Structure 1
Amino acid sequence: MFIKQATLYHLVMPLKETFKTGYGVMKDKHLCIIKLVSNDGIEGYGELDAFLNPWYTEETTKTAILIIKDHLLPMIKSVNLENPTQINQIFQVIRGNEMAKSAVETAVWDVFAKISGQPLTTYLGGELSDISVGVSVGIKENSDELVKVVRRYVSEGYSRVKLKIKPGFDVEQVDKIRRNFPNLSLMVDANSSYRKSDIAVFKQLDQYSLAMIEQPFGVTDFVDHAWLQKQIQTPICLDENIRSLADVRQASELNSAKAINVKIARVGGLTEALKIATFCSENGMIAWCGGMFEAGIGRAHNIALASRAEFTFPGDISASNRYFERDIIKGEFRINNGKITTPMGLGIGVEIDRESLDFYCKRRENIVLN
């Protein structure tokens, strides 16, 4: 199979609510949808989920698009692809730029799943027809407002809630939520906002029966996370500093974490995500699927991955209406009793809403590859 053409759709999608984390505030999601067309006319879709600013990783929407256009797409021009894992191998020569790689690689997986006549979930070895999902809640200045937001999501059926925290907005907020929802599966995400000197905060958080504490320290650190994990019972989860299977192996060897947030975009695509999920399962680590404010295409890829048996903890996948008033796919992913039904159409299993795509699209580029 050859890729003969690519189309890049540059989108700006306003968020329904301003989202605040330890990094900053988001009001819009700038993203790029990539459509690849095979020599047989099969279309595959991937989603570039880098942010406008380089606050999560070094990549930004603009830099990732540059890498895709100037480096990644030329590398697969006239290449006879026999399976989607080849993309991971071909792109190895390019250092970093995992989100750019993922946008192209996931589109190739979609093409191959369609060629095989299967849903992507089946093509990936997924076994779950319904997956348990959680929701991530941004930092709220007012604890009472936070309770209202969490109550709304609990009423919508989410089976797990993650609270974003930062210094000064942590123990009090967790205490308020735990008092109001004593049986809720609850975790916190620090987005690297803390240091070893904040150990007292984590000792306090350790008393609230949290499912895990995500990324308390720096994005390149494994040693201090290992130190913290020895001090508390609550499992530490690593996110930002996990870019590959090699990073997960290092975390395992050092006992830096008991859980891994597997984000397809952050690890360079589905091939690496599958390797990580397998390693976690074989080495007693919790694997779960994280989110990047995806639109419907990225969400469909996440659901397909999370349908595999290795993913035993509810992911940050959420319903279609979580972030956007209008999605770019027809139909919606809905929460039913804390679960989302895995789409079983060919490939990613959803139909692109061309009208909606055009509505959000600010620019479109067609690139011929043969």
Structure 2
Amino acid sequence: MQIMEVKLHQLKIPLKTSFKTSYGEMDAKEFLLIELIDCDGIIAYGEVEAFARPDYTEETIETAYNIITTFLIPGLQNWQFTHPQDFREKFKWIRGNQMAKAGIEMALWDLYAKKKEVSLQELIGGTKQKVAVGVSLGIQENETALLNTIRRYVQKGYQRVKLKIQPGKDIRFIAAAREAFPNLTLMADANSAYKVSDIVLLKKLDQFNLAMIEQPFSEKDFIDHAELQKQIKTAICLDENLRSLEDVRQAHLLGSCKAINLKLARVGGYSEALDIINYCHQNNLLVWCGGMLEAGIGRAHNLLLASREEFVFPGDISASSRYFEEDIICEPFELIGDSLQVPKGFGIGVTLNNQVIKRFLKNTKTMVLR
């Protein structure tokens, strides 16, 4: 296989409602859509999920754009490959920048499946036809607003709800949610908002029967997470500080967590993600599929990954309508019960809605590699 042309589309789609976490607030999803065209004219797609601000990780949409246009796309010039896993080895010299790499790597997997005329699901070992999903809720103004928001999504069919928390909006909010919804699967996500001095406070979350507490401490930390995990019954889940299989292995051996939030974008794509899944399965670590407010292409990739049997906990994938009035694909994902249907067809199984893309397109850069 050989890539002949790359189109890099910059888009910005407004969110239906703003999404607030401990590190900031978003009212639009800004992202890069990758379009690869091979020597046979086959078109494949990936999505770059880096945010506009370096508050989730140090990577941003601007740094990703720079890495892609300066190093990754030129590196594809005259490159002939037999499998998308070759990409990881070829570009391992580029340190970090996992989201930039993931956008290209995911598109290569889509291309590979389309060349073979099979679903990408088959190539990555997925088997489920539908995937149970949860919903992630941003920090609300008060308990009443929180309960109303939870109620709205439970009525839509979501059976697992993740609540973003931060100091001052944690114990009271979780207590109110648990009292109102005693049987609902609840979890809390701190996005690194706490310090080790907050362990006494975090231990109070044990009383609320949470499925897990996600990333309470720094995105660089494993030691403090391990100390907290020793002192609480609730499972700790790690997110921001897991960028590779090596990170997952370190977290496991130190006892830093009992669960892994796996995001394709954060670990550089499928090749690393599949290795992480295998490691988690072998070592009894719960692994589930996280989300980054993806548009339709990224959401399709997530669903395909989450269709593997190892994913038994509902992920943060959600229906397209959770975030957007309009999605960039012609087959927006709709909630049926508590699940989304896994895309069928060759590759990732979805097609672009060009009318929507034109409305939200900021810029397109085309690079010809012939």
1:32 matched to 2:13? The reply is no
Q: Please name the residue that 1:299 is paired with.
A: 299
- Which residue of the partner structure matches residue 230 of structure 2? 230
Which consecutive unaligned segments of at least 5 residues does structure 2 have? Answer: none
Match of 1:278 in 2: 278
Q: What's the offset of the Cα at 1:331?
A: 2.1
Q: What is the aligned-residue RMSD (CA, Å)?
A: 0.7
For structure 1, which segment, 205-214 or 113-122, has the greater mean C-alpha deviation from structure 2 after superposition?
A: 113-122
Q: Quote how far apart the aligned CAs of 1:159 are.
A: 2.0
Q: CA deviation at 1:200?
A: 2.0
Q: Distance in 1 between matches of 2:150 and 2:289?
A: 20
**1:116 Cα offset (Å):** 1.1
Among all aligned residue pairs of Structure 1 and Structure 2, give the percentage whose two residues are the same amino acid: 52
Which residues of 2 match residues 244-323 of structure 1 at below 5 A? 244-323=244-323
Question: What is the aligned partner in structure 1 of residue 221 from structure 2?
Answer: 221
Deviation readout 1:201-244 (Å, 9 max, x if unpaired)? 21110110000000000001001100000000000000000000
Matched to 2:316, the amino acid is D
**TM alignment of 1:17-166, pairs within 5 A:** 17-166=17-166
Which residue is 2:330 aligned to? 330
In structure 2, how many angstroms separate the alpha carbons of the residues matched to 1:78 and 1:315?
38
Separation in 2, partners of 1:351, 1:123: 19
Task: List per-residue Cα deviations over 1:149-182 (Å, max 9, x = no partner).
Answer: 1011111111210000000000100011101110
> Does 2:223 match 1:200?
no
Equivalent-residue separation in structure 1 for 2:356 and 2:337 (angstroms): 28
Task: Name the residue aligned to 2:190.
Answer: 190
Distance 1:301 1:5 in 2: 22
Structure 1 residue 5 corresponds to structure 2 residue 27: no
SS in 2 for 1:93: coil
Q: Which runs of 4+ in 1 moved over 3 A?
A: none
Q: Which amino acid counterpart does residue 167 of structure 2 have in structure 1?
A: P
CA distance in 1, matches of 2:289, 2:276: 11
Q: Provide the C-alpha distance between the structure 2 equivalents of 1:203 and 1:221, rounded to a whole number of angstroms.
A: 18
* SS state at 1:266 partner: helix
Distance 2:309 2:77 in 1: 35
1:175 maps onto 2:175 in alignment: yes
**3-state SS in 1 of match to 2:315:** coil
Aligned counterparts of 1:74 and 1:283: Cα–Cα separation in 2: 39
Cα shift readout 1:22-78 (whole Å, capped 9, x = no counterpart): 011111111010100011111110001100010011111011011000001111211
**Partners of 1:241 and 1:144 in 2: CA distance:** 33
Q: Distance in 1 between matches of 2:229 and 2:173?
A: 22
Where 2:131 maps in the other structure, the secondary structure is: strand
> Structure 1 residue 362: deviation in Å?
1.0
Cα separation, 1, equivalents of 2:175 and 2:108: 45
The normalised TM-score by structure 1 is: 0.99
| Post-superposition offset of 1:309 | 1.0
Gaps of 5+ in 1: none
Deviation at 1:88, TM superposition (A): 1.0
Q: CA deviation at 1:311?
A: 1.1
1:349 aligns with 2:335: no
The whole-number CA distance in structure 1 between the counterparts of 2:56 and 2:262 is 15
Instruction: State the Cα deviation string for residues 118-164 of structure 1 (Å, max 9, x = none).
Output: 11111211011111100000000111111011011111111210000
Distance in 1, Cα, partners of 2:90 & 2:159? 39
Count of matched residue pairs: 370
Residue 32 of structure 2 aligns to a residue in which SS?
Answer: strand
